[in-house]
Each structure stands twice: as C-alpha cells, then as structure tokens.
Structure 1
Amino acid sequence: MWKITTSLAAGLVAAALAVPAAADTVEFMNWTYTEDSGKDLMQGIMDDYAGKSGDTVEPLGYAWSDINKNAFLRSRTNTLPDVMQVQARFLPTIANIQQIVDLNEVFGKDALEEMFTPGFLAMGQVDGKQVALPWIAGTIGMVANQKVLDAAGVDGIPGTVDEFRAALEQVRENVPNSVPYGMATKNNASILLDYLIWAWTFGADVIDADGKPDVNSAEGVAALEFMVGLMNDRLAAPEIDRPDARRLFGQEATAFYFDAPSAKNFAADFSGQGMDYAVNIIPMETPTMEADGTPAAIQWGHVLVMFNDDNASSDSAASKFLMNTMSDDVLVDYALIKGALPPTFTALESEQVASDAYMAAWAEAAVAPRPNPIAPLANGGAISDIIGEEVQAALLGQKTAQEAADAMQERLEAELD
C-alpha cells in the first residue's frame, strides 16, 4: 500500500473547488480533445471544473504530432494557453519555453510531495524545477492480442526472443493478411521507441552513461539485424506507424506491438466492440534473450504544465483547474478510461484502481522501465531523426544492418559532440 499523509494535498484540491470572486476563462491546450475517443472525456473534465467554479474552460485542440510546434509558435506571439497537456518525454523541450511556471512556487514543494508518488512527480521535473504535474502514467510496453494468438494456434505468451519470433511465424502462416508484429517502420519518433526497446533487449545502450552513442557495438548491430530479419520474413511490414499498429491490432490483423497502457482504449475503439473487447488485450513483458532476463520498457506518461506569470498563484483559475483535474473524483475515472495509472497517492489507493485487472497486469509486466535517453537532450529531435532514418534504411534494404549502425554511430557522434 502507498503510505500517505494528506493534510497539505487535501488543501490544494479543496482550494480548486472554491468559487472565485469573478468568473474567469482558462485556455486548455491538449491533443486528447481532437481524438474521437477523447473529446467527450476532455469535455467532461472541463465541464466539471466549470460547474464547480463558475469559470469557463476553453479547449485549444491540436493533433498530437503538432502540439509542441504550436506551443513554440504561440510563445513567440504571446498567445500561450494557461494549461497544456504534454507527453512526458517531450517535457525537457517544452521546458525551454520562457513563460513556463515552476509549480513548486505555486503550490509548494511539500504539498506536491504529499500529493504525488515520488517516481511520478519526477516526471514533471526539469533542471531542479517542477515545471509540470503528472497526469496519467505507465510505460511503453508490449501488448498481445489473445484472439489473434488463438487463431494462429500460439500456446501461451512468448517469454524469450526466440519464442517471440516463433509465435510471429505462426501468426504469419495461420492468420491471412496479417502483420504479425506491428513494428513501427515509419515516423522517426515512433521508430525510435521500438528501436530503443530492442536495442536494450540485445544489450546495447544506444546512449551510454557518459552521453556517448553506442549503436554500432556487436549488441547494437544484432538488435538491428533482428528487426531487419522480421521485416524480410514478413513478420513486420513497411509503412507502419503507431496509429496503424493500433488499428491492425483492434481489427485482429496484428498479434503484438508496443504501446502505452492506453492500448486498451484503441483496441476497444478499432474492434467495434468497445470495452467488451478488453479481455483479449494482454499486457506482457517484452521478450528477453534468456528466460530469466529483465524485460525492457520505457517510462511513459502525460503531464500538465502552466504558462504565464499571471497564473503563478494558487488562487488563479488556471491553478484551480489544474488541481481539480487531480482530484480523485476526476482523476481516477479519467486515468482508468485512458488505460493508465493515476499518479496521486489517494487515487492509487482507490478501490477502482485496485480492482482493475488490466492495469494490475500492466504494472506486473512493467518490471524495470527505463527513461527515454533521447527526449531530455536539447537536440533530441535531431537525434531521433538520425536513429529513425538509419533504422528505416536498414529495414528497407537500402543499407545492411552494419552499414546503418556505422552511419548512425558516426552521425550521432557528430550531433552529440
């Protein structure tokens, strides 16, 4: 059980429910509002706060792939929103926006430490400042579709890389028109995640402890050769991005892929069966080289940031909206509907979380998630592009795995110098 003290944290949430002297408008920039599966959820969160406070919440919706770019454009024109949803791995980039608010100064460091678990609270920290609060959390890990495995005659969830490849071959042979593994083969940001997990699985560091690239080591080349072999043997396919894998998975044309816990929601939507389909979605440990290996996974989550000095007070409408989203009656339902863990102590102890079999299975599979080593770097976008371009060149047969790894190493050394 999580050990908590609640006096300061309860005060923060209670303040969010106080009706301000005069109505205000909170601009909330997020990508979930633009998604079919998320719009009603976001509207409900905004309406909940509006009903309690008398304020208005105005959604500013941008597609996930465009939201960071638009944040920087808005910073140049002094039109930043009050509150913004950010993918946790991109927070070091967004933290470069000058108008971002240190939330320790708004709510108090002690109060936030009472409210959030340490690991989740750390998701919002950059250079010693609490520039974001965790909203939903989990990992990037592997999921399996039990119905596809049953159709292919696969008995059990594969635990090793060899067992994984054998399962993929069974899917290829027994499920017509399938893409057995929905490996990301386009979009550099998506390719990076699959590559990182397989590189770690094979024992490569990608970026070592000294900040040096290590992609053309024997382990790094072996990981890339494994990925190329999957493509060559029709166990993966070209032109697959994460959204494509989600669709194929829900339509029972893919057996495995990497995603966040929200994989459940995408499968429910694409299956056409809603949450009745969730019983077929199996969170699993990433296959390992040996049966007793440590499965690789990437830390994942969404965080919320605030901008502009006029919001840097716990009495501002933006601060109260932010705290209201973290209250148990709002946060727990939202996190579980999104297939994720809520990051506050009290929400994690709620009956709803304790009784959610899917999230319990996900937490059990997330043995030792590692932070994305690329995201915190100032030139992380360029590094992601280098890795994605060279991995794709190998997957498409334009270079051998060794040639691609050598070119990646050389380009990364120059970029990281």
Structure 2
Amino acid sequence: MNTFTRLIGTAAVALVLGSGAAKAADLSFMSFTYAEEANKAIVQGVLDNFQKAEKLTVEPLGFAWGDMQKNIFLRARSKTLPDIAQLSERWLPTFASLDNLVDLNTVYGKDKLEVAFAPDALAMGNINGKQLALPLLSGSIGMVANKEVLAKAGINDAPKTVDDFKKALVAVRDKVPNSVPYSMATKNNGSILIDFMVWNWVHGGRIIDDAGKVVVDSRQSRDALGFMVGLMKDRLAAPEIDRPDSRRLLAQGASAFYLDAPQTRTFLRDFSGKGQAFDANVLPMPTPVLKAGDKSVSVQWGHLLVQFAANGKAKADDPADKFLTYIISDKVQTDLPLKMSALPVTKSARAAVADDAYLKNWSAATGDARRNEVGIWSNAADLTNIIGEEVQGALLGQKSADDAIKSMQARLTTSMEKAKKSE
C-alpha cells in the first residue's frame, strides 16, 4: 500500500479498493496529454488500469494544450465542467476564483498531503493556503541540446556562457545545412513568454516583482530582448516556431538547442521515429549564464490535477477523488511520470525511481528553478498575451526592442491595475 493511500484513511481506502458495479462514465477527465499523439496511449493505459482496479469508468476529454484554458471557462459558463482536469502549473491562478474548484485540503487533510508529497511538487497547487490542485508530475523548463547536431558542428562541450552559446549557434548555422540552430519560440504567446522570461532572468531582469509591480522597463530586460532579436537577425533562430516545432526540429537533427520540460524526451523519441534509441542524442544542460560564476536558471514546471464539484465540496470516497488517489499512488507515480520523462510527485515514488539516469541528469542541470513570475497572477492569460505580442513585434522587426519594452511596461501595468481593482 502506497504512502498516500495509507494516509487518506481506512474508509476511503476500502472504497477505493472495492469492487462495486461500474456505471457508464462515472467521472470525466479533461486532459491535454490525452490529446497528444505521442502520449495518448500512455494516458489511456492509466484509465484502463483504473477501471480494472476500481470498477469505475472515466470519460476522457482531450483538448490541445493551447485550447485548455478557453474550454474550461466555456464549460464553467455552460455548467459542464469535467470532474477532473489537467492543468499546466502556471494556469492555476487563472481558475482559482471558480466556485466549483475543490480545496483538496478539505478532502484529504493538509497534514496528510504534506506527509505524502514532495514539498516542491505540492507547492505548485497551493494558492493562499488552499490546495486547489494535486501535482501529477514535476520538473523544470530548461535547455535541451542534440548531441549529434553539436558533433556535426564540431562542438565538444555544452556552452556554459551566453557568448559561448552564440558561438555554438554560429557553428551550427554554418556547418549544419538548413538548420535552425536555436529553435526559440517565436509564435504562440504562451511559448514566447517562457523563452523571454528565461533570457530576461539570465540577463538579470524581472518582469513582475513579488509584490506585483511591473519592473520590465529596465536595462537588463532591454539587453535580454535585444539578445533575442540579434539571434533572429543573424539567422540563429527563425520565425513561426512554437514548442512542438522545436521538438520536431531537434528530433530530426535540424536544431541544436531549445527550451523545454523533461518530458521532451518522450516527444523526441516519437518525432525522431527512433524510439528509445534517440535518447543517446538528448542532452539536458544548464541554461547558459551571462558570465562565469552566475547561477544557471530554469522555470519551475509541472502538471496539476484539479477537481470540480458542486459548490466546491467533495469527499474522499467520491469517484473523482478515488481517481485522484489512484493517479498519485506508487503504482502510477513510478510509471507514468517516467514514461512522460518527468519526476514523480510523491516522496515514496521519487525514492523508488531515484536511479533514473535521465532524470538525474536533468536535475543536475536545473540550477535555480524559479516560479513563473507571470503565471502566478489571476490575469496571467492577459499578461502572457501582452508579453508575447511585444516580444514577437520586436523579433519580427515591427518595432525596436526599446519600444517593445516600453509598451510592455505600460500594458502590463494597466493589466495589473485592472486585476487589482477586480479582486
């Protein structure tokens, strides 16, 4: 019996392990991973095993990552919310005000959750003391390289500084035909945000400080955006690149570097057509630093599970909560995250998979994993669009980096002021 199952209480355990007759669609599960071709079978396997173990059926609702937030809000208006939904960790504040969102401390108990989960993972689902989500898998967003492409360009070691990084990109551009040396996100505002935020941190800047003040109008942020614009001008990055494009380019040997979460390995196996044989080319590396001695940065990352119920009330023996209990059991947590190339979220599961070489290498490359400084605010969607639009405008040469930063500062400040008034 796994740690979490022991801790939620014997009554709930008896029901979780019971063999009552199944009903059609006992609960619904809305998931972006289920909509991903590379991962659909993995999720379906979990759902099938849950049905066998608990005699309960799950209706899977697959939506693309970029459509999830919109569809959840539409379902909230039409009162057709799913029982359980998968979220990116940065989206949670956007949904925190929904009346039907369950505080899972009231279902399982705050103390029991803290005993069962790794603190960093549990913290992703906590807002103002309420446990509005349970973690599904965790990790960070950092730099990934293709060792085979680096070798073709004559690069023996992963670049450590920004200057070394640019030299490596030039080598790839000149020695690997038809390549995009750094497949930086240049479309999809949600993807652009991550690249800009990381390079802004590398250059010593911030977008929004911990108190909610917009501070992007700085020399450091200008330098960061100027660096990104320079990559585009020098053909070291390319327009119209989103994260899925980056994965395909790297998997097909047409790119050397990009930013992603550890689950990239799963996508690269699929997109390369080589399966696990492609793992030899995947190199998790510290994000290059501005100068030697600086600490490398990455973005905290993870997938969360939220529960929706009438008036936000639920019990551990409800079908949806049995599903949550199953998903974070050792049986699933020592299997699903690894198939997704990510870290488990419970203490017991992390101990059980501590020898996984890829995840150990990823952890070693993580450096200073910082919380997404945009995603934590209730108006995160608007902030993300503003940043994406301004960065893209500069990357495409529609405005200067200086003008983009000034406009970003003004627009973000207006958005934050509106959000505070509506609270």
Q: Give TM class, smaller chain.
A: over 0.9
| CA apart distance, 1:354 | 1.9
Aligned to 1:399: 399
> Is the CA contact 1:214–1:220 (under 8 Å) kept in the aligned structure 2?
no
AA aligned opposite 1:49:
F
Q: How many residues align?
A: 412
Change (3 A) 1:9 1:290: farther
Change (3 A) 1:360 1:10: farther
Q: Which stretches in structure 1 are left out of the alignment for 5+ residues?
A: none
CA distance in 1, matches of 2:326, 2:181: 42
| CA apart distance, 1:358 | 0.7
AA aligned opposite 2:7:
L
> Is the CA contact 1:311–1:317 (under 8 Å) kept in the aligned structure 2?
no
> Is the CA contact 2:20–2:55 (under 8 Å) kept in the aligned structure 1?
no
Aligned to 1:319: 321
Secondary structure of residue in 2 paired with 1:222: helix
AA aligned opposite 1:327:
S
Secondary structure of residue in 2 paired with 1:346: helix
Secondary structure of residue in 2 paired with 1:200: helix
Q: Map of 1:293-332 to 2, 5 A cutoff? A: 293-309=294-310, 312-332=314-334
Identity of paired residues, percent? 49
Matched, 1:384 2:384: yes
Change (3 A) 1:17 1:339: same
> Is the CA contact 1:185–1:395 (under 8 Å) kept in the aligned structure 2?
yes
Matched, 1:365 2:369: no
Aligned to 2:410: 410
In the TM superposition, what whole-angstrom CA distance separates every residue of 1:127-171 from its partner, at most 9, and x where no partner exists? 221111000000111101000001111120000000000000000
Superposition TM-score, scaled by structure 2 size: 0.94
| CA apart distance, 1:13 | 8.4
AA aligned opposite 2:34:
Y
Aligned to 1:219: 220
Aligned to 2:374: 374
Q: Map of 1:46-65 to 2, 5 A cutoff? A: 46-65=47-66
In the TM superposition, what whole-angstrom CA distance separates every residue of 1:292-326 from its partner, at most 9, and x where no partner exists? 11111110000111111397011111111110111
CA distance in 1, matches of 2:75, 2:306: 15
Change (3 A) 1:15 1:108: farther
Secondary structure of residue in 1 paired with 2:187: coil
Change (3 A) 1:169 1:328: same
Change (3 A) 1:11 1:334: farther
Which stretch shifts more, 176-185 or 354-363?
A: 354-363
Which stretch shifts more, 22-31 or 255-264?
A: 22-31
| CA apart distance, 1:116 | 0.2
> Is the CA contact 1:82–1:318 (under 8 Å) kept in the aligned structure 2?
yes
| CA apart distance, 1:82 | 1.1
Change (3 A) 1:155 1:226: same
In the TM superposition, what whole-angstrom CA distance separates every residue of 1:169-194 from its partner, at most 9, and x where no partner exists? 00000000000001001111110000
Aligned to 2:420: none
The runs of at least 4 consecutive aligned structure 1 residues that moved more than 6 Å come to none
Aligned to 1:247: 248
CA distance in 2, matches of 1:82, 1:212: 36
CA distance in 1, matches of 2:142, 2:12: 32
Secondary structure of residue in 2 paired with 1:65: helix
Q: Map of 1:42-81 to 2, 5 A cutoff? A: 42-81=43-82
CA distance in 2, matches of 1:10, 1:144: 45
| CA apart distance, 1:250 | 0.4
| CA apart distance, 1:94 | 2.1
Matched, 1:118 2:119: yes
Change (3 A) 1:7 1:31: closer
Root mean square deviation of aligned Cα: 1.8
| CA apart distance, 1:28 | 0.9
CA distance in 2, matches of 1:166, 1:12: 62
Secondary structure of residue in 2 paired with 1:302: strand
> Is the CA contact 1:13–1:323 (under 8 Å) kept in the aligned structure 2?
no
CA distance in 1, matches of 2:19, 2:94: 33
Secondary structure of residue in 2 paired with 1:55: coil
Secondary structure of residue in 1 paired with 2:71: helix
Aligned to 2:7: 8
CA distance in 1, matches of 2:167, 2:379: 38
AA aligned opposite 1:208:
D
> Is the CA contact 1:82–1:311 (under 8 Å) kept in the aligned structure 2?
no
Q: Which stretches in structure 2 are left out of the alignment for 5+ residues?
A: 418-423
Aligned to 1:291: 292
> Is the CA contact 1:311–1:318 (under 8 Å) kept in the aligned structure 2?
no
Superposition TM-score, scaled by structure 1 size: 0.95
Change (3 A) 1:324 1:401: same
> Is the CA contact 1:49–1:321 (under 8 Å) kept in the aligned structure 2?
yes
| CA apart distance, 1:209 | 3.2
Aligned to 1:339: 341
| CA apart distance, 1:266 | 1.1
Change (3 A) 1:374 1:355: same
Secondary structure of residue in 1 paired with 2:17: coil
Change (3 A) 1:79 1:401: same
> Is the CA contact 1:186–1:239 (under 8 Å) kept in the aligned structure 2?
yes
> Is the CA contact 2:4–2:329 (under 8 Å) kept in the aligned structure 1?
no
> Is the CA contact 2:5–2:13 (under 8 Å) kept in the aligned structure 1?
no
| CA apart distance, 1:208 | 2.1
Change (3 A) 1:146 1:315: same
In the TM superposition, what whole-angstrom CA distance separates every residue of 1:51-94 from its partner, at most 9, and x where no partner exists? 01111111111111112211111112221111111111101112
Q: Map of 1:23-102 to 2, 5 A cutoff? A: 23-24=22-23, 25-102=26-103
| CA apart distance, 1:416 | 2.2
AA aligned opposite 2:368:
A
Change (3 A) 1:13 1:205: farther
| CA apart distance, 1:210 | 3.1
> Is the CA contact 1:13–1:327 (under 8 Å) kept in the aligned structure 2?
no
